[in-house]
Amino acid sequence: MFLSIHALLNHQSRTLCRISVLLTLAFGTSFVHAQSNGLTLNEALQLSLQRSSLTKAANASVLASRESAAKADQLPDPMLKVGIDNLPVTGSDRYSTTSDFMTMRRIGIEQQWVSSDKRIARSERAQRAIEMEESTYLESVAKVREEAAKAWVNVLYGQRTLALVSAMEKVAAEDLNAMNAAHRGAKANASDVMQAQLTLSQAQDATRKNTQDLKNARLALSRWTGMPAATVADETPKLTSHVPGLPVEELEKYHPMLLSARRAVNLADADSTVASRESNPDWSVEAAYSQRGSQYSNMVSFGISIPLAVNRAQKQNRDIAEKSALGTKARMQYVEALRELQTEIENQSSTLESLKSRVTQLNAQLLPTASHQVELASAAYRSGAGSLSAVFNAKKMLLERRLQIAELEREAALTWATLEYHVVPHDMVSAGEMK
């Protein structure tokens, strides 16, 4: 008796879903996750972020940049200066530090003074550098989520495709058995039996191929979740994306491509400000205490060192012009990134809607027709006006149409995952989410 695809999927789900998996989550928290209905998409996304070394590495880079930024507004360390001035090297007092009145043992300290506006500019630049590292972290988050979602989708439709080709193999086996019986009863010729055998061989090969494809898809999912994935929940996602409706201001916050481009502009502006402030030289203040022999007076010295910008047009101004040009470059790259992103989102959104429309149309028109052909062929066989082979051919055609629709659904789901999950979740954009 012909089994419906829904029944086959339910049978496979009951067979594969008797597995309990022990999940050891990050930060030392452990819990048991019973996969009674398989791994859901949300669970796969959560596991991928908890187990990903890519995001942990990016987060470590953020922490490193924060440590570096903590010293950006600090004054340079003072310099301890020790020496001997005017030491005789000839005559009766040579190498004596106390005989000659000009000889002094000196100890002093020198401090380079950096203006407050320059230190503020450096601190602002360090904050922009932190934001750039954070954008790299968020880009890693988006990549991990997108790849995990696509891997989950591939497993889901791998399971469904395997169920369909297994049903086709069963139909082919029943066809062969019926042909052998008909041949023995002289109701079918040898060529019909050979054709049925060929069809069965092809169906068996398709089953083996899809079994391996499903195994590879599960390995890919395990790579992102960090745990073996025996099966996933047979739940079709609602292929609806909020990304096409986001304005540019929101895309700058949540889409890694535009987020990085905007923060690169901010960093370039901060570099320009630092270069402008750095064009003013830093003064150094020095104080020293000089000790002479006991018969002479000790002395105190102090002074200020001021660098002279003797060729500002070829040095400091060149630095400012360089940073300004890099700022222009960052702005042009932002404009290009925005155009590319908007085009990409429009293409993916249009492709997704087209695929969903095709799936809906095929479900509404193709499947009913194929199912009706099965009913007609079965009725004709029962009335003696049709052959058993026609019944099996109609069933095979129905399964092929379902495979066609399943492949379109897979393509639509992968397009949706690429569009929806390459955007950072709103609650992870704030720097407070990065531990």
Per-residue pLDDT of 241-276, as tens digits, reads: 999 999 999 999 899 999 999 999 999 999 999 999
pLDDT score at 430: 58
pLDDT score at 64: 92
Which residue matches tokens 């987020």? Answer: 259
Q: Is the pLDDT reported for residue 323 higher than 70?
A: yes
- Cβ-in-10-Å burial (0-12, 13-18, 19+) of 422 comes to buried
pTM of the model: 0.79
Task: State mean pLDDT over 315-322.
Answer: 89
Rg (CA), the chain: 38
The 8-class DSSP code of residue 28 comes to G
Own/partner long-range contacts of 166-169 (Cβ < 8 Å, ≥24 apart)? 166/8, 166/207, 167/3, 167/5, 167/8, 167/399, 168/203, 168/206, 168/396, 168/399, 168/400, 168/403, 169/200, 169/203, 169/204, 169/206, 169/207
Contact predicate 51/227, CB 8 Å: yes
Q: Which of 221, 217, 216, 235 is nearest to 48 (CA)?
A: 221
Dist. CA 130–CA 178, nearest whole Å: 72
Q: What is the pLDDT of residues 108-148, one digit of tens each?
A: 999 999 999 999 999 999 999 999 999 999 999 999 999 99
Q: Is the pLDDT reported for residue 42 higher than 50?
A: yes
Contact predicate 291/314, CB 8 Å: no
Highest mean pLDDT pick, 7-16, 158-167, 381-390 = 158-167
Which amino acid, 19? Answer: I
pLDDT score at 15: 32
pLDDT score at 286: 95
